[in-house]
Amino acid sequence: MRPETAPEIMLIPIRDHNPSSKRPYVTYALLAANVFVFILYFPLFSDDHALMRFFGEWGMLPIRLSHGEGYATLVSHQFLHGDIIHLGSNMLFLWIFGDNMEEVWGHWKFLAFYLICGLAAAGLQYVAEPYSMIPMVGASGAIAGVLGGYLLLYPRARVDMFLFLIVIFRVIPIPAWLVLGSWFVLQVLGGLSAPADEAGVAYWAHAGGFVAGVILCLPVWRKLGGRAFWVVHDGHPPHPEARYDFARTSIPRVTRKSRYRPSPWRK
């Protein structure tokens, strides 16, 4: 696995300006399920061998699929995470973008859409490395599908990004096409450049889930009017966007040192 260093510049999405008119019960349930499952196996983090056995059993292990077994892991891996940061980042993206996709699809269809995107993500990662012995865990592939669908439907919806630059903290609104499009490009570039046996991130799973999300949402987009939907609403959501008031605050200067060690699983 390739070690990673802490970035000096960070852009983290914190919310969008695309309010939902319905309660996203499935999104809430997925958030709760991922957190609950993580809590169940959290004690294993004190024993690396036990944790790896667990991930080897329930994570998506390509070599097992190549031997005709472990098909249930195509779903189970979507509810496992490698650490709290991995869980938190995935749940943040699901929280921000999931409600709007659930409103478009409806509750049960959104659940099917989410799981199918996760399957597509695992499928592309398997095709890229069918004999890999590194287990893949995480909801990233399914959530990437949510991001792909969101980009197709609301390319100019504003997303508030938290900018962290050494000692500068600021919230910057950025259009979804730039946030999500850049993320997708980074996944493809990561998949093309990272050595298969060293990559700690399942880049092709992310790319596969994203593309699946776009493809699955094409009929929805066409039903809404296709290009005419973009033209009429200028790529924004078809309703007034949310407005947020910002208050000035004094934040002390801080220094931060972080060390990362490679993980024997993919996220």
- In tens digits, what is the pLDDT along the chain, a chain of 267 residues? 222 333 344 678 888 888 888 899 999 999 999 999 999 999 999 999 999 999 999 999 999 999 999 999 999 999 999 999 999 999 999 999 999 999 999 999 999 999 999 999 999 999 999 999 999 999 999 999 999 999 999 999 999 988 776 666 778 888 999 999 999 998 999 888 866 555 578 899 999 999 999 999 999 999 999 999 888 888 878 877 777 665 554 545 444 444 445 566 666
Asked if 161 and 171 count as a contact pair (C-beta separation under 8 A), the reply is yes
Question: Is residue 81 within 8 Å of 35, Cβ to Cβ?
Answer: no
Vertex 94, ends 92 and 95: CA angle to 5°? 65
Task: Measure CA 175 to chain center.
Answer: 18
Provide the whole-model pTM: 0.85
Residue 195's SS3 state is: coil
> Which domains are delineated in the chain?
14-233 (1.20.1540.10)
What DSSP character marks residue 166? T
Strand, coil or helix: what is 99?
helix
CA–centroid distance for 160 within its chain: 17
Return the bridge partners of 9, or none.
165
CB-based contact 266:200 (threshold 8 Å): yes
